[in-house]
Structure 1
Amino acid sequence: MDQTVTHADTPVHRGRKYAQVLAGARQVFLSDGFEGASVDEIARVAGVSKATLYKYFPDKRILFIEVVNSECQRQASAAMDSIDKTAPPREVLGQTGRHFLSFITTEFGQRIFRICVAEAERFPELGRAFYESGPAVMRQEIAEYFGEARARGELRIADDLLAADQFGELCKAQVWMQLTFGVIDRVSATEIDRVVDSAVEVFLARYGT
């Protein structure tokens, strides 16, 4: 069934080839960046005509934002839906931290972050879209969990959103900056475990009951 969604004042048509166009755009954006990605190449990779592409996405920025929204929402849902939030905080935080750090250190997470930073001055809406569909969603989900855990007497947190930000920063310690600036080219599962386990320990030392 066809649907139309709106980004700012620009409608986005969701029809039969929407997912096909999105998949092609994702591939090209990751390969060529935002500025280097041409509409011709996106249409070619997606296997659609330019007329079809423009039917779904009348502006390249809208297409990029939709790619980011789609992937970030998928990752956020996969992360939080797979976690039993009634489990002990150490378990919930460990699983959440692993999902979070694993995603932001993927090729997709790194490339999208770099594109948004590179284009932030000319197209600030790209950065806002990334933040609102990815980090902000995760932040809100974690903050809501903190409220539930506090009500059960498992955590003692006064500011849930601040604590969510603090936990996220703890989970990025060392490896995020090194990966972003090319000091290292990948983060292993072992390293993710090490960083997240330490983050959980520090967080619970401050907020555990």
Structure 2
Amino acid sequence: MPDGTIEPKKGRKFDQVLEGARQVFLSDGFEGASVDDIAKAAGVSKATLYSYFPDKRFLFMQVAKTECARQADHAIETINMDAPVQKVLCDIAMEMVDFITSQFGKRIFRICVGESDRFPELGREFYESGPMLIRNRLVEYFQKAVAKGELNITDFELAAEQFHELCKADLFPRMVFNMTDEFTPAEKSRVINGAVEMFMARYGT
């Protein structure tokens, strides 16, 4: 199996293959997705697909990593990190909640959990490209906020994990156990505001 840290070969139809794979994985899951269906959705031959990605697991991880990186980049581009800390935390929480409850976020999580016995590396690699990436970005922001006297944090990694978990309160368990698949803006705002208020009560200055 290729290692998750290996970068795939790029080429003219690389993005095309990734998008086709994204569509098929979302609709059919990891087990149900076939290379034939992915090639058809991408509009390429199987030979072209295999020239970029040697197996389905490697392709799946590249889809997950690409989407997680896109979400992180979007957050960086749209959030004003120089705004008051409470506003920044609200904006970060909104991005996190939107991703957690998105069709892609839900499906990818379920695929990683469902395939964890056969492919334990899927969960590890997804954690490194998703939750760990978010944690690292939060740590960077918290360090700057502490330097400016806006937050009082000593264990940055723990604080980042705590904020991430606060943003999953109520919504994530209901989603994981299939109690509901859709959340209203009011439901999201309730969790976001509660997460920021609790976090600031602990770490605010």
Same fold (TM over 0.5): yes
Correspondence 1:85-124 to 2 at 5 A: 85-124=81-120
Give yes or no for contact 2:135–2:160 (8 Å, CA) kept in 1: yes
| Larger strand fraction of residues | 1
- Residue number in structure 2 paired with 1:3: none
Report the CA distance between 1:10 and its aligned residue.
5.7
Correspondence 1:1-209 to 2 at 5 A: 7-8=3-4, 12-209=8-205
Give yes or no for contact 1:72–1:133 (8 Å, CA) kept in 2: yes
SS at 1:86's partner residue?
coil
Question: Unaligned 5+ residue runs, structure 1?
Answer: 1-5
Identity of aligned residues (%): 56
Report the CA distance between 1:89 and its aligned residue.
1.0
Q: Which amino acid letter does the alignment assign opposite residue 155 of structure 2?
A: D
Give yes or no for contact 1:39–1:50 (8 Å, CA) kept in 2: yes
Give yes or no for contact 2:86–2:196 (8 Å, CA) kept in 1: yes
Give yes or no for contact 1:98–1:196 (8 Å, CA) kept in 2: yes
SS at 1:14's partner residue?
coil
Deviations 1:133-154 (A, max 9, x none): 1111111101111110001111
Question: Which of 1 and 2 has higher RCO (CA within 8 Å, sep 6+)?
Answer: 2
RMSD: 1.3
Structure 2 CA distance for aligned equivalents of residues 118 and 148 of structure 1: 38
Structure 1 CA distance for aligned equivalents of residues 7 and 98 of structure 2: 33
Aligned length, in residue pairs: 204
Deviations 1:95-133 (A, max 9, x none): 000000110100100000000001111111211221111
